Structure 1
Amino acid sequence: MLQTIRRIILAGAAVLGPWHAVAAQEAAGPRAVPAARVAHAATAGMLGTALAGQRAVAVGDHGVVLLSDDGGQRWRQARAVPVDSTLTAVSFADAEHGWAVGHAGVILATQDGGETWRLQRRAAQEDRPLFAVHMFDAQHGVAVGLWSLVLVTGDAGKTWDSVALSPPEGAKRADLNLFSLFTTPTGELLATAERGMLLRSTDRGQHWAYLASGYKGSFWAGAAASDGVLLAAGLRGSIFRSADDGKTWARVDNPGKASITALLATGQNVLALGLDGSVLRSQDGGASFNTEQRDDRAALTSALRLADGRELLFSRQGPLPDRR
């Protein structure tokens, strides 16, 4: 089994996505080791990002958590993170309260805007990493991961309860890997998954329904435009769009073949990022995209849009400088 995300990217055939490999050696570790504070933390691969008020927060390899209070000009490492497991996603309910998830089933929480973190959950023996987390508010949230793992909390993470999913139509069991979470303008929660599937919940993760796109590959990212149009993207540059609440899906033209790792929708403007440094932009709710190629061909992983409209891009080499 592959031991690092970097080896998966280089292999070029990551069925579980660029950051969704199961690190078996890490998961089998007998104890949690705090993340080391190092001078080169800003070059660590960043996999998940969120805004904590005006603060930008990024999480990634080796339990590194980076913080910026000046719009991404300077980054510093969080003071205390109790694990050195790969962190895959982060979500903030407000400027102070945030949650991060990752390998070994880890869930971390912060009450000071990401400066210090405490461990809420770790299930190393299960070998089931968590890939995404979404907090509706400071009490209610959902985390998802390998083999249809769904966890919900209604008490700020003091407890995380498992939700059993029914199998998709025609399947004998629920074993899809759930890669990302996003919400619609009406507050519905969607998860992107393998086999061209999405899952939707209207009750904050307690119950889920499947949406089949007709695609057979993995969706690593999803987003909803301001008018409720749904977008999902992933393996080999695939982008799919639904304008009828997920009933039917159409493939959006993308000549690129690099897998898409992130989608960011603001109004009708949609940003998609590729593993080969491709940046795709849409101004029509994802109906069409224009593509530009970064000269450095950085393996892009995540993006944030700041209040002033600027975009921060993140990669397997850490946060990227603003080119504008």
Structure 2
Amino acid sequence: MQQNSPGGGQPTRGSFRKGWPAIGFALLVAAGAVYSFTPRPLPDFPETQLQAGQLLINGLARSGDHFVAGGAKGRILIADSADGPWRNADASSDTGSAITRLLTVDDRTLFAVGHNLLIQRSEDGGLTWQRVHEDLDIPEPLLDIAVTADGERLIAVGGFGQYLVSDDGGENWQSHRHEVFNGSHLNDLAVADDGTLLLAAERGLVLRSRDRGESWEALDVDYPGSMFGALPLGGERWIVFGMEGKVFETRDHGDSWAEVDSGVEDTLFGGTQLADGRVVLVGGMQRVLVAEPDTFDFRVVQPSKQGNYATVLGAGDSRVIVGGEPGARLIDLSPQTSNNTGEG
């Protein structure tokens, strides 16, 4: 009769009792793997929210019920309320060209400009964007974009005299050179209701056009420093502003100018006029200034802080959104309220 070797032979009843925990664990692992790979419907995840204070913001715009912000790395953000939350828009630029300015044409149509002569267009209120112009061989930025009073022409301006024109709603762009620009940075382009255009540029250059940008004439502001903003205030009244807190006013479309005391010496980069007529200027050291249009006695709303504001947008109810190095922030201009109401 055959005998089993000492180390082999048939398993005994005791060996099964000793091995069942390992077998059970293996079965559990197998069942878990099957469950993990079984198709199941995904849960509803909340929409990603962004802190706009984490991104350099250079441009702000409003389209219908949407607020739009653009800035570093080509990012465009959108919010349904002035106090956020902000989320990513679907932008087409994958080159990372920084956004420098936004323009609202109507409730559906917006434009964004940026570095490498980038121009993007949105036709759904800022939700999605398509690149309509970019030149990666030209590093110069476009710094502003405007639409003429008749709504028929778009003009984009920028560094070293860059000047692009579109007469077909932004589909095609032609580059133009004007000798009077002299290669200067063209910082801001503004349009009055009667069609007059004003350009604020570097080295004290302020220019005017009365023919939809076909020709330009230099105006005498009598200041050698750069101007970063031009703001029409109705009729033939304008202000331009820039380095050292300088503000100049004209009441005859730029034929003559008078300096206005802003009360600060920090560079002013952006401005807007609110629905109630008040003028808001923002700039270096996070300065926010407010003035009544009839007196131009500027009041400092926010004290000096590290970092620059580049742009400002009215948000209703005496509030503005300011954008710059600190990101996008909502500020209440009412004298009795705190200066900063929070981050977008």
Offset from partner CA, 1:135-160 (integer Å, 9 cap, x none): 34775211001121111111111111
Alignment of 1:177 with 2:185, yes or no, is: yes
Pick the aligned partner of 2:301 from 292, 297, 314.
292
Kindly tell me: are residues 227 and 140 of structure 1, through their superposed partners in 2, closer, same or farther at Cα, counting changes over 3 Å? closer
Contact residue 100 and residue 142 of structure 2 kept, 8 A:
yes
Q: Secondary structure at the match of 1:104?
A: coil
| Equivalence for 1:144 | 157
| Distance in 2 (alpha carbons) for counterparts of 1:306 and 1:41 | 16
Alignment of 1:270 with 2:270, yes or no, is: no
Alignment of 1:108 with 2:120, yes or no, is: yes
| Distance in 2 (alpha carbons) for counterparts of 1:286 and 1:268 | 11
Q: Secondary structure at the match of 1:236?
A: helix
Contact residue 221 and residue 256 of structure 2 kept, 8 A:
yes
Alignment of 1:129 with 2:141, yes or no, is: yes
* Ranges in structure 2 where 5+ consecutive residues have no aligned partner: 1-47, 332-339
| Distance in 1 (alpha carbons) for counterparts of 2:82 and 2:51 | 20
Offset from partner CA, 1:94-127 (integer Å, 9 cap, x none): 1211111111111111111112211111122123
| Distance in 2 (alpha carbons) for counterparts of 1:308 and 1:55 | 16
Alignment of 1:208 with 2:219, yes or no, is: no
Kindly tell me: are residues 253 and 138 of structure 1, through their superposed partners in 2, closer, same or farther at Cα, counting changes over 3 Å? closer
| Distance in 2 (alpha carbons) for counterparts of 1:141 and 1:72 | 30
| Equivalence for 2:252 | 244
| Distance in 1 (alpha carbons) for counterparts of 2:129 and 2:242 | 31
Alpha-carbon distance, 1:287 to partner? 3.5
Pick the aligned partner of 1:46 from 57, 72, 82.
57
Alignment of 1:72 with 2:83, yes or no, is: yes
Alpha-carbon distance, 1:60 to partner? 0.7
Task: Kindly provide the amino acid, as one letter, of the partner of residue 272 in structure 1.
Answer: L
Alpha-carbon distance, 1:206 to partner? 2.3
- What TM-score, normalized to structure 1? 0.80
| Equivalence for 2:194 | 186
Task: Kindly provide the amino acid, as one letter, of the partner of residue 268 in structure 2.
Answer: I
| Equivalence for 1:29 | none
Contact residue 320 and residue 330 of structure 2 kept, 8 A:
no
**Which stretch shows the higher mean deviation, 301-310 or 185-194?**
301-310
Kindly tell me: are residues 138 and 79 of structure 1, through their superposed partners in 2, closer, same or farther at Cα, counting changes over 3 Å? farther
RMSD (CA atoms): 2.3
The structure with the largest alpha-carbon Rg is: 2
Contact residue 229 and residue 285 of structure 1 kept, 8 A:
no
Pick the aligned partner of 2:67 from 49, 56, 65.
56
Pick the aligned partner of 1:260 from 248, 263, 268.
268
* Ranges in structure 1 where 5+ consecutive residues have no aligned partner: 1-36, 169-173
Indicate the percent of aligned positions where both proteins have the same amino acid: 28
| Distance in 2 (alpha carbons) for counterparts of 1:61 and 1:184 | 30
Contact residue 219 and residue 233 of structure 1 kept, 8 A:
yes
Q: Secondary structure at the match of 1:220?
A: strand
Task: Report the number of matched residues.
Answer: 283
- What TM-score, normalized to structure 2? 0.76
| Distance in 1 (alpha carbons) for counterparts of 2:118 and 2:132 | 8
| Distance in 2 (alpha carbons) for counterparts of 1:41 and 1:85 | 18
Q: Secondary structure at the match of 2:73?
A: helix
Contact residue 231 and residue 272 of structure 2 kept, 8 A:
yes
Q: Secondary structure at the match of 2:77?
A: strand
Kindly tell me: are residues 158 and 259 of structure 1, through their superposed partners in 2, closer, same or farther at Cα, counting changes over 3 Å? same
Alpha-carbon distance, 1:70 to partner? 1.6
| Distance in 2 (alpha carbons) for counterparts of 1:110 and 1:139 | 17
